[in-house]
Amino acid sequence: MRVLVVWCPDWPATALGIDAAVPGSVLAAGKVAACTAAARAQGVRRGQRVRDAQRRCPDLVVADRDPDAEGRLFERVAEAVAELIPKVEVVRPGMCAVPARGPSRFYGGEESLRLHVQDAVVEAGFDCGAGVADGLFAAELAARRDGGVIVPPGGTAPFLAPYPLAVLERPELAGLLARLGVRTLGDFAALPAGHVAGRFGADGARAHRLARGEEPRPVAPGAAGGDLAVRAAFDPPAERSEQVVFTAKRLAGDLHAGLAAGGLTCVRLAVEVGFVDGRVLHRLWRHDGGLSAQAVAERVRWQLAAWRPPAEDAVWGGVAWLELTPDQVVPDTGRQESLWGRSGVTDRVARAADRIQALLGHRGVTRPFMVGGRDPGEQVVRVPVGDLPPHDLPDGPWPGRVPAPAPAVVPAAAPRADVVDARGRAVRVSARCEVSSPPARITVPGGDAERVAAWSGPWPVAERWWDPARARRRARFQVVTDRGRAYLLAVEDGDWRIEAVYD
């Protein structure tokens, strides 16, 4: 099957708005997940640790990976391609594929089609390569070579032969083969298929098929019937995207139940969203290892987020129906199905969280996780229910951390306070951390003055002094008033703020 692949280089960096001319890198789990061409020119590579990358390129712009942004922004590329060829399959954010046979006849040849598609994407504002070949694997490599080439029908095996085994993205297999003296796809393809399957198992056989330029799976065991499709109608039409996403989660569950009954799993999913005025938003989503219900809902959210005007939360016109169709189905060889980021969330709690997310949006309900940090507010991150908790967080020590016990009330934005001495003058703290006079009264917003019964401080806190833009210098006080209340105060540039209340 002839396939045209559009591949946008360094998509994780593009999605975060890092210009290709700027040396920049995107991190996942403390390692470089993607970098721009400028960074690559200075020796930054994927998989490097940040420290190594920064040593090679000191002015490297570093950002954390954001898969949501990648998915959202890539919708615009898919949109541009869909203008020319309606049947676009998003393989992953950064790469999409279309069947090339029909459209190439319409556009007058494969080269003409390739240029048309490439121009459309470049016009949409994204750098890309487009390549045509037999099968997805070869087409991706064709798209990545010199801005895109065309591999003639039947020419896949010679085209693939010089590539190193790393392109198979199976490091263990590649390492083993390298030790056996097999270094290129051509060498690997020359091995007898039966022996490869016997020695390396099903996954090895799949890799071998790829190397020989064949489809990774012989054929789908049967076209997915329409009976596996699941559909939900909204009456009245859904005005908010969260409502649709919430339903998508449930539909995905139904879909998986239907597939599981047939011992199947779905690697490509068609999501159709119908609007009130009859327009239909159709998109194919591919996933390497089967789509979980959570992942399906996420993709529906991306699809809707790209459609509606970004500032407004209302789905344009209202959504009338939603349909999920398994487009490509393979036998289920067994995998762990995980709906939630972490086990331990009971069904009841998951359902309640779903309902609240449908009301308030994905970030509406969160679970707190304790992380390192100095301020009482910094020590907690709130993770939306369903997202993975943070990992690889820096661990202390945190000099200047407020000692236990922790305050009971930690306002998100510290309110101002007035702190004066016995003669009514504002209390100041000098650069050498000397208090001008002992605090005698404090006034909190919305309250009357309270007399200070006991106080302690100042405790200087100098944070990020090495980074002038983010450096902060504060002095903290603990104050107990005559009403038995205790406050954690901080003074910064003469401004007093209530960081926390020991209520």
Partner 1 sequence: MEGGGVGEVVRVDGGTVFALPSAASLKGRVPVLPALREVVPGGGLWPGSAVGVAGPGAGSLGLALVAGVVRHGGTDESGGWCGVVGMPEFGVVAAAGMGAAPERLLLVDEPGERWPDVVAALVEAVDLVLVRPPEAPGPPVVRRLSALARKHGCVLVVPDVAWPGTRLRLRVEEAHWEGVGAGHGVLRARRARVSADGRGGAWLWLPGPDGRVAPVTPHRRRLEVVA
Which of 342, 374, 428, 497 binds partner 1 (CB under 8 A)? It is: 342
Q: How far is the CB of 377 from partner 1 (least distance, A)?
A: 9
CA distance linking residue 204 with residue 106, whole number of Å: 38
Which of 67, 155, 317, 364 binds partner 1 (CB under 8 A)? It is: 364
Which of 155, 186, 411, 460 binds partner 1 (CB under 8 A)? It is: 411
**Structure token pair of residue 428:** 């100041």
Residue 355 within binding range of partner 1, rule CB under 8 A:
yes
Site for partner 1 in 434-493 (CB under 8 A): 435, 438, 454-457, 478-480, 483-486
- What are residue 131's DSSP bridge partners? 5
CA distance linking residue 304 with residue 212, whole number of Å: 39
Shorter beta-carbon distance to partner 1: residue 28 or 480: 480
Stretch that binds partner 1, among 2-10, 67-75, 139-147, 380-388 (CB under 8 A): 380-388
CA distance linking residue 36 with residue 63, whole number of Å: 12
Residue 408 within binding range of partner 1, rule CB under 8 A:
yes
**Structure token pair of residue 295:** 């992942």
Burial of 361 (0-12, 13-18, 19+ CB in 10 A): middle
CA distance linking residue 217 with residue 141, whole number of Å: 18
- Cα torsion angle, 129, 130, 134, 140, sign: positive
Q: What phi, psi does 8 have (nearest 5°)? A: -100, 120
Shorter beta-carbon distance to partner 1: residue 39 or 417: 417
Shorter beta-carbon distance to partner 1: residue 59 or 313: 313
Which of 37, 124, 305, 356 binds partner 1 (CB under 8 A)? It is: 356
3-state class of 249 per DSSP?
helix
Q: Residues binding partner 1: what is the number (CB under 8 A)? A: 52
Which of 28, 197, 410, 426 binds partner 1 (CB under 8 A)? It is: 410
Residue 380 within binding range of partner 1, rule CB under 8 A:
yes
Binding mask 14-53 for partner 1 (x = CB under 8 A): ----------------------------------------
Amino acid at 425: R
Which of 370, 388, 431, 469 binds partner 1 (CB under 8 A)? It is: 370
Residue 407 within binding range of partner 1, rule CB under 8 A:
yes
- What are residue 34's DSSP bridge partners? 26
CA distance linking residue 378 with residue 373, whole number of Å: 5
Residue 1 within binding range of partner 1, rule CB under 8 A:
no
Q: How far is the CB of 92 from partner 1 (least distance, A)?
A: 30
3-state class of 244 per DSSP?
helix
Q: How far is the CB of 344 from partner 1 (least distance, A)?
A: 7
Which of 222, 310, 405, 494 binds partner 1 (CB under 8 A)? It is: 405
Which of 218, 403, 446, 468 binds partner 1 (CB under 8 A)? It is: 403
One-letter-per-residue 3-state SS of 456-501: EEEEEEEECCCCCCCCEEEEEEEEEECCCCEEEEEEECCEEEEEEE
- Cα torsion angle, 351, 355, 361, 364, sign: negative
Shorter beta-carbon distance to partner 1: residue 161 or 480: 480
Which of 91, 211, 353, 491 binds partner 1 (CB under 8 A)? It is: 353
**Structure token pair of residue 471:** 């450096």
CA distance linking residue 349 with residue 346, whole number of Å: 5
Residue 500 within binding range of partner 1, rule CB under 8 A:
yes
The answer to whether the CB of 131 falls within 8 A of the CB of 145 is: yes
Q: How far is the CB of 495 from partner 1 (least distance, A)?
A: 20
Residue 379 within binding range of partner 1, rule CB under 8 A:
yes
Within 13 Å of residue 256, how many CA atoms lie on the same side as its CB?
Answer: 20
Shorter beta-carbon distance to partner 1: residue 258 or 384: 384
Number of DSSP helices (H) and strands (E) in the chain, helices first:
14, 19
Stretch that binds partner 1, among 113-121, 273-281, 295-303, 367-375 (CB under 8 A): 367-375
Residue 409 within binding range of partner 1, rule CB under 8 A:
yes
The answer to whether the CB of 452 falls within 8 A of the CB of 441 is: yes
Q: How far is the CB of 434 from partner 1 (least distance, A)?
A: 11
Q: How far is the CB of 351 from partner 1 (least distance, A)?
A: 7
Q: How far is the CB of 480 from partner 1 (least distance, A)?
A: 5
Residue 368 within binding range of partner 1, rule CB under 8 A:
yes
Q: How far is the CB of 435 from partner 1 (least distance, A)?
A: 8
Go through the chain and tell me how many residues it has: 503
41 Cβ neighbours under 8 A, 6+ residues apart = 23
Q: What phi, psi does 409 have (nearest 5°)? A: -125, 120
Q: How far is the CB of 503 from partner 1 (least distance, A)?
A: 3
- Cα torsion angle, 372, 376, 378, 382, sign: positive
Which of 351, 416, 425, 472 binds partner 1 (CB under 8 A)? It is: 351
The answer to whether the CB of 300 falls within 8 A of the CB of 308 is: no
Which residues make up the interface to partner 1 (CB under 8 A)? 342, 344, 346, 348-349, 351-353, 355-356, 359-360, 364-370, 376, 379-380, 382, 385, 389, 403-412, 435, 438, 454-457, 478-480, 483-486, 500-503
